[in-house]
């Protein structure tokens, strides 16, 4: 064969090159679409927890509205699976809200019996699920003196901290530390 015959361009070569380019583009589009669908699926069950303390002054209080309540709400579109919840006062771990109430009462000279009266609580334990749109009252107290002290410790002195780590159904996890209002992404809720 001469050099001219070797260098001659054939239409089949162009068709083959175009076919390879089209196949590569189709494969890349399929990969991108799959990633986009997976992300959409994860966002469709995204939980977003918020915590807030409620305080009612004397004229707002009724049998249904207590002077103090601590609440967790899920403003997201999917359920939040609580993996861990930790309560601290002045940096010290507290096992539950009643222990916090006792510590506040003792420090400020309130009658511990009066403080414990009128408490209703719904403990939130690891593994519990907070559904989308749900507002869960974790604890309420009917003692207005305690409520005033808690308001100061929570919002002024910021000595009470609630740390919750939760995950979505797809094991995407977030950590929310009250009184902060924004959850932070976590790889896991372990350690």
* Residue range 81-112, pLDDT digits in tens: 999 999 999 999 999 888 999 999 999 998 88
The pLDDT value recorded for residue 11 is 76
More confident of the two residues 115 and 80: 80
> Whole-model pTM?
0.74
26: which DSSP letter?
A: H
The pLDDT value recorded for residue 26 is 80
The pLDDT value recorded for residue 63 is 54
**Cα–Cα distance between 93 and 180 in angstroms, integer?**
18
Question: Which stretches within the chain are classed as H helix?
Answer: 3-6, 11-43, 97-108, 112-116, 144-151
Residue 2 pLDDT > 70, yes or no?
A: no
């Amino acid at each position: 064969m001469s050099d001219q015959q070797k260098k001659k361009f054939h239409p089949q070569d162009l068709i083959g090159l175009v076919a390879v380019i089209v196949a590569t583009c189709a494969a890349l589009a399929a990969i991108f679409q799959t990633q986009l669908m997976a992300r959409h699926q994860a966002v469709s069950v995204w939980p977003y927890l918020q915590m807030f303390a409620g305080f009612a002054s004397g004229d707002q209080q009724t049998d249904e509205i207590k002077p103090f309540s601590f609440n967790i709400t899920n403003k997201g579109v999917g359920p939040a699976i609580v993996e861990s919840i930790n309560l601290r006062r002045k940096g010290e771990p507290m096992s539950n809200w009643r222990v916090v109430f006792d510590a506040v009462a003792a420090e400020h000279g309130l009658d511990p019996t009066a403080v414990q009266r009128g408490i209703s609580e719904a403990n939130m334990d690891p593994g519990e699920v907070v559904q989308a749109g749900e507002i869960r009252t974790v604890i309420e107290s009917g003692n207005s003196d305690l409520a005033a002290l808690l308001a100061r410790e929570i919002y002024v002195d910021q000595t009470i901290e609630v740390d919750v780590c939760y995950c979505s159904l797809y094991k995407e996890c977030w950590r929310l530390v009250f009184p902060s209002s924004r959850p932070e992404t976590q790889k896991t809720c372990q350690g």
